[in-house]
């Protein structure tokens, strides 16, 4: 596929991610409206969020003005070259910014200068994985900054919350992180957790959980039970939509595990706001299809 | 019931607002976030001093479009997290006689004390409501520090019409954020068996 065409596909992927609430998230929000109950302020807030998402989709404008950091997860076959795919992704980020689907969100931390087009050092972030099968599979997260700020990495044991090196310890970390986040990550959010790994891989895999479907079930039975139990418990916190009280504090909890070094036991908790933006596309030959 | 607020607004009208009140705001205000707050404290903010008096500051880093004739248009304009401006906000309220601070997530003790002392409220706009809130920005008459701070951080002068928000910290010491945090702390301690 020529580069101009591939860039157009990346651009469309970014547009969809910024302006469309994924169907699993929309379903979870609709369930939350019912859980809050008619006439409650929680239900009113959630309904406005859904109305906003629908308006964004029909206007093709961003759901949220913080269009986040771009995180691409790309699998590519022998018919693609990583460098060319990367060029297309970066060019698409520039064009999406010019089209107002993205806010210029790449700031040099030393000079304070905004690059103006969402490109910079590690911006966008692109993770490549080669595969034998031809074609391209691209998944994109637009990860908002407000929710990123409430993420936490714990080092177990942690005496301050009575968390030891076991699943009960993990449970305590997640409850602690979500309680401390209150409404600051734009509740109700989804929670991505990684148990184990090193500081770097642990945080990364906690965020990769956001690529999962909110309605899926973890193939690891122990983690599946922990996900379900935590979802119930976190919704007992009473933080509610935007932290103004209510029954819905989280839309889902997704947990991964990674082998760890004997000395280390990290629990990383990432938070994604209700404006949970993700999109995916598959390129095969000259054909492209978007998941939604 | 929604209370209509027209800017500039009097201290008396602001003092009449109670935490939990829904309001609809019409008038001219400015946006300002991290860089703007530091600037407003470090300088006398001559560009925006007059507008800020008896008006409001909106914690927002918008997506803004410039039309061919040079006019600006807000495309997406929800609130950003307010607590980052906690070190500055009390001083901004006092120095510029600001009557309302709009954002999300609530603010701390110093801001609450400034609201009580000088007659100001903190209002929550629903986070992520970017498309709906941008529609209530009907005109963008001016912008300051655009080159220096970048579009998300610049001080945009905006005219809003029926901008929806909820008073979550009033000028009588009441904060819904503190109340919810306290309630959720009890639930948190129960879950952790503390």
Chain A interface mutation, best of B184, B185, B186, highest count of A Cβ atoms under 10 Å: B184
Q: What is the mean pLDDT of chain A?
A: 97
Q: Between residues 257 and 286 of chain A, which touch chain B (CB distance below 8 Å)?
A: 273-275
Q: For A62, which of B63, B150, B176 is closest by C-beta distance?
A: B63
B62: distance to nearest CA of chain A, Å? Answer: 6
Mean pLDDT value of segment B26-53 = 97
Q: For A244, which of B60, B168, B192 is closest by C-beta distance?
A: B168
For residue A4, is pLDDT > 80? yes
Q: For A239, which of B61, B131, B184 is closest by C-beta distance?
A: B184
pLDDT of residue B194: 74
Map B133-163 to HEC letters. HHHCEEEEEEEECHHHHCCCCCEEEEEEEEE
Helix (H) / strand (E) containing A4: helix A3-19
Cβ of residue A179 closer than 8 Å to a chain B Cβ: yes
Chain B interface mutation, best of A242, A250, A277, highest count of B Cβ atoms under 10 Å: A242
Q: What residues of chain B lie within 8 A of the CB of A33, using their CB? A: none
For residue B20, is pLDDT > 80? yes
Q: Do B134 and A56 touch (CB under 8 A)?
A: no
pLDDT of residue A120: 98
Cβ of residue A58 closer than 8 Å to a chain B Cβ: no
Looking at the annotation, which residues of B are catalytic?
A: 37
Measured in degrees and rounded to the nearest 5, phi and psi for residue A31 equal -60, -35
Cβ of residue A116 closer than 8 Å to a chain B Cβ: yes
B71: distance to nearest CA of chain A, Å? Answer: 15
Q: What CA–CA distance (Å, rounded) separates A74 from A182?
A: 33
Q: For A61, which of B75, B81, B184 is closest by C-beta distance?
A: B75
Place of tokens 């990364």: A204
Q: Do A273 and B128 touch (CB under 8 A)?
A: yes
Q: Do A146 and B151 touch (CB under 8 A)?
A: no
Q: What CA–CA distance (Å, rounded) separates A25 from A63?
A: 13
Q: Between residues 90 and 109 of chain A, which touch chain B (CB distance below 8 Å)?
A: 100, 102-105, 107
Query: What are the structural domains, with CATH classification, of chain B?
Result: 2-191 (3.20.130.10)
Of the pLDDT bands very low, low, confident and very high (cuts 50, 70, 90), residue B4 is very high
Mean pLDDT value of segment B168-177 = 97
Mean pLDDT value of segment B14-21 = 96
How high is the ipTM of this complex?
A: 0.91
Closest CA to B107 of B95, B94, B123, B119: B123
pLDDT of residue A51: 95
- CA triplet A265, A267, A270: central angle to 5 degrees? 155
Rounded to the nearest 5 percent, the helix, strand and coil shares of chain B are 35, 30, 35
Q: What CA–CA distance (Å, rounded) separates A260 from B112?
A: 45
pLDDT digits (tens, 9 = 90+) for A78-126: 999 999 999 999 999 999 999 999 999 999 999 989 999 999 999 999 9
pTM of the model: 0.93
pLDDT of residue A258: 98
> Which residues, listed in sequence order, are joined to residue A267 by a DSSP beta bridge?
A154, A195
Place of tokens 């803004």: B64
For residue A216, is pLDDT > 90? yes
């Amino acid at each position: 596929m020529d580069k101009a065409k591939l860039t157009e596909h990346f651009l469309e992927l970014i547009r969809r991610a910024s302006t469309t609430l994924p169907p699993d998230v929309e379903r979870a929000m609709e369930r939350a409206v019912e859980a809050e109950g008619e006439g409650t302020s929680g239900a009113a807030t959630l309904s406005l969020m859904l109305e906003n998402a629908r308006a964004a989709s029909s206007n093709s404008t961003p759901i949220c003005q913080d269009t986040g950091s771009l995180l691409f997860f790309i699998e590519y076959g022998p018919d693609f070259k990583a460098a060319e795919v990367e060029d297309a992704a970066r060019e698409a980020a520039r064009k999406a910014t010019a089209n107002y689907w993205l806010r210029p969100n790449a700031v040099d931390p030393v000079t304070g200068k905004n690059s103006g087009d969402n490109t910079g050092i590690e911006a966008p972030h692109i993770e490549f994985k080669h595969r034998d099968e031809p074609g391209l599979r691209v998944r994109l997260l637009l990860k908002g900054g407000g929710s990123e700020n409430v993420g936490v990495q714990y080092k177990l044991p942690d005496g301050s919350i009575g968390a030891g090196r076991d699943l009960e310890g993990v449970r305590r970390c997640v409850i602690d992180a979500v309680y401390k986040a209150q409404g600051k990550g734009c509740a109700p959010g989804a929670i991505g957790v990684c148990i184990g790994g090193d500081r770097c891989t642990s945080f990364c895999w906690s965020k990769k959980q956001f690529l999962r479907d909110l309605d899926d079930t973890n193939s690891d039975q122990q983690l599946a039970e922990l996900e379900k139990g935590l979802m119930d418990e976190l919704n007992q916190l009473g933080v509610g939509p935007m932290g103004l009280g209510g029954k819905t504090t989280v839309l889902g909890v997704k947990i991964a595990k990674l082998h760890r070094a004997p000395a280390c036991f990290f629990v990383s908790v990432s938070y994604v706001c209700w404006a949970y933006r993700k999109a995916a596309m598959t390129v095969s030959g000259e054909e492209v299809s978007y998941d939604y | 019931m929604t209370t209509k607020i027209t800017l500039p607004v009097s201290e008396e009208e602001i003092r009449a607002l109670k935490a939990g009140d829904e309001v609809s705001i019409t008038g001219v205000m400015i946006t300002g976030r991290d860089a703007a707050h530091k600037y407003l404290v470090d300088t006398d903010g001559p560009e925006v001093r007059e507008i800020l008096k008896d008006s409001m500051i909106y914690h927002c880093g918008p997506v803004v479009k410039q039309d061919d004739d040079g006019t600006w248009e807000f495309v997406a304009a929800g609130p950003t997290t307010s607590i980052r401006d906690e070190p500055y906000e009390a001083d901004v309220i006092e120095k510029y006689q600001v009557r309302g601070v709009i954002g999300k997530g609530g603010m701390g003790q110093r801001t609450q004390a400034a609201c009580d002392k000088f007659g100001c409220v903190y209002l929550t706009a629903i986070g992520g409501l970017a498309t709906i809130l941008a529609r209530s920005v009907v005109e963008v008459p001016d912008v300051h520090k655009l080159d220096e701070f970048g579009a998300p951080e610049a001080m945009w002068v905006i005219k809003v019409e029926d901008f929806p928000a909820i008073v979550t910290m009033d000028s009588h010491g009441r904060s819904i954020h503190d109340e919810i945090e306290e309630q959720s702390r009890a639930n948190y301690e129960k879950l952790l068996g503390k």
